[in-house]
Amino acid sequence: MTQNYSTKDCFDGRQAECEWMVQTQLKSRDITNEAVINSMLTVPRHRYVKQDKQAFAYYDSALEIEAGQTISQPYIVALMAQALDLKASDKVLEIGTGSGYSAAILSRIALRIYTIERHSILAQLAKERFNIQGYDNIEVRVGDGTLGWSEKAPYDAILVTAGGPEIPDSLIRQLAPEGRLVIPVGNKEDQHLLRIKKTLNQELLEEDLGSVRFVPLIGTKGWS
């Protein structure tokens, strides 16, 4: 049975560091969504990084995790969560579970999170973290995230946490009317963070949220 830990237990006495992170790296910039801010104050980032990186967990920097991947800097995690414009009733698909930190943030805002990871070791570690912290509205799957998760579609929001050469049509198809898709698109070194909104008439509205740098999106609809 999943054990629900209190915020104090999860933070191991490091709440002040998390509050400092939110104040200096998020609120001082353009993160204004209260649900996102509250979630960033609730999820202990140091529990999602390797032991030798925990001292740097609340700095605004990406950190190396297992399988040669990275956990994004807190600002980018908050920016992408804010861009999804989530409601409490939303069902969300995340492509690229990584450490699980982003899915944990989304799970404190939306109703249900489905997250796909191609590295089985990362998927297993994320599951363990969610279980320890009592985050029971997240479902993890190992597979090709570029193909989405059609069995659970449609989704009110889709978040892609790796940079692809284009927007996968498979994800567009799984996006519900009035849904939002946030994805980095570009080359393997640099991308632009795009927000795609699907209208009730199935039209796609695209917005450029700025330059970013993510690990490559590997898969059938991404990089080989």
C-alpha to C-alpha distance for 181 and 117, rounded to whole angstroms: 18
Cα 122 from Cα 101, distance rounded (Å): 11
- Among candidate residues 6, 39, 61, 72, the one labeled active-site is 72
Query: Catalytic residue at 61?
Result: no
Element (H, E) at 196: strand 191-198
Rounded Cα gap, residues 209 and 187, in angstroms: 16
Question: Which residue is listed with tokens 């790796």?
Answer: 162
Burial class, 200, CB count within 10 angstroms (exposed 0-12 / middle 13-18 / buried 19+)? exposed
How far apart, in whole angstroms, are the C-alpha atoms of residue 151 and residue 174?
10
Q: Would you please indicate which residues are annotated as catalytic (active-site) residues?
A: 72
